[in-house]
């Protein structure tokens, strides 16, 4: 099923998960989990992953994908990201794929996370909100723009078609 906002491209996901620096035993969250693709990648290393999305169709898709994948360390929740963060215990990292209420979410993440926070966005406005919010909260580490092009056959050769660039904003709370 396709719906607005997903899924995260493999190459972007690889950079984002790498930037999170997840270690064995970590408890992490994927907020705005969509199809669950990033949560599944995080679950390869993390002890527990919370996959959170407010959209019913996203949660249903994520649950189907997780059943196919066969992992049991991912807990899927149909819940607003802010509500989840207000209720959750300490996390070792968080990936934010949805940018609704981003300033408020960053403030809650600062209190809940001891580790890295990665925000992905395609919008300049959201990238700016994430960078300024993390600077204000004294947790900004870096911003990276990832531009991927995929090969496609044409006239007996290949060309590359670009995929929309993604901003990966990294924060860290020690």
Q: Is 160 among the domain residues?
A: no
Q: Is 102 among the domain residues?
A: yes
- What is the domain count for the chain? 1
Helices (H), the chain: 10-20, 37-43, 56-69, 81-87, 102-112, 124-136
Q: Is 129 among the domain residues?
A: yes
pLDDT given for residue 69 in this prediction? 84
Q: Is 111 among the domain residues?
A: yes
CATH code at 131?
A: 3.40.50.150
pLDDT given for residue 167 in this prediction? 97
Q: Is 1 among the domain residues?
A: no
Q: Which residues in the chain show pLDDT less than 50?
A: none
Instruction: Tell me the sheet residues that pair with 143.
Output: 169
pTM exceeding 0.75: yes
Q: Is 151 among the domain residues?
A: no
Q: Is 168 among the domain residues?
A: no
Phi-psi region of 112 (alpha: psi -120 to 50; beta: other; left: phi over 0): alpha
Q: Is 146 among the domain residues?
A: no
């Amino acid at each position: 099923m396709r719906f607005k906002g997903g899924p995260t491209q493999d190459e972007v996901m690889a950079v984002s998960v790498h930037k999170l620096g997840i270690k064995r035993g970590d408890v992490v969250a994927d907020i705005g989990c969509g199809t669950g693709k990033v949560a599944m990648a995080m679950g390869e290393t993390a002890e527990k992953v919370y996959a959170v999305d407010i959209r019913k169709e996203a949660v249903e898709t994520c649950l189907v994908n997780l059943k196919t994948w066969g992992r049991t360390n991912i807990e899927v929740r149909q819940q607003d990201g802010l509500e989840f963060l207000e209720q959750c215990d300490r996390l070792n990292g968080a990936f934010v794929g949805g940018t609704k209420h981003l300033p408020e979410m960053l403030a809650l993440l600062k209190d809940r996370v001891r580790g890295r926070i990665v925000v992905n966005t395609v919008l300049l406005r959201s990238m700016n909100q994430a960078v300024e919010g993390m600077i204000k909260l004294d947790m900004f580490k870096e911003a990276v723009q990832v531009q991927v092009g995929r090969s496609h056959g044409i006239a007996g050769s290949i060309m590359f078609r670009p995929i929309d660039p993604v901003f990966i904003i990294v924060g860290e709370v020690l």
